[in-house]
Amino acid sequence: MRVPSVIYADSETYVEPIHTCRPNPHQSYTMPYQKHTPSSFCYYTKCFDDNVYSKEPVIVTNEKEDDDIAQIFIDTLEVDIKDICAEFKKKKNMIFNEDDKMVFEEATVCHICKKPFKDAVRKFRDQCSRML
């Protein structure tokens, strides 16, 4: 099944060399040689239907050297995700025309898992199937 929305994200960093002393070559070690400091990010949310949720790409670049771009990314993204969740929690009337009714009544297997119905009386209409 399709997902209702997807988020594409990218970030940029400043790369600074790290000056360290030489490690002991007779022992296992990891030698850090660069420090990556986040400097900007961009993300775009794509919904299956722009009428349900649509927003311009979010682009943020640090204004001061001590801006915590990683935290700003998390905070901004969290707000947008809560907005998306709130939008999908809103109750909407199901679009269910006569053709849909006929297909539903004649169905003998679940359109999601493809298993036969055990009890035709317990079939449920799937609001999300209209997204496909």
DSSP 14-51: EEEE---PPPPTTS------EEEEEEEEEEEEEES-TT
Burial level of 58, CB count in 10 A (0-12/13-18/19+)? middle
The dihedral through the CA atoms of 3, 99, 94, 56 has a sign that is: positive
pLDDT in single tens digits along all 132 residues of the chain: 567 889 999 999 999 999 887 888 888 888 888 999 999 999 999 998 888 888 999 999 998 888 999 999 999 999 999 998 888 888 777 788 899 888 888 888 887 788 888 765 667 776 554 433
For the whole prediction, is pTM greater than 0.75?
no
What residues pair up with 45 in beta bridges, in sequence order?
7
Radius of gyration of the chain (CA): 25
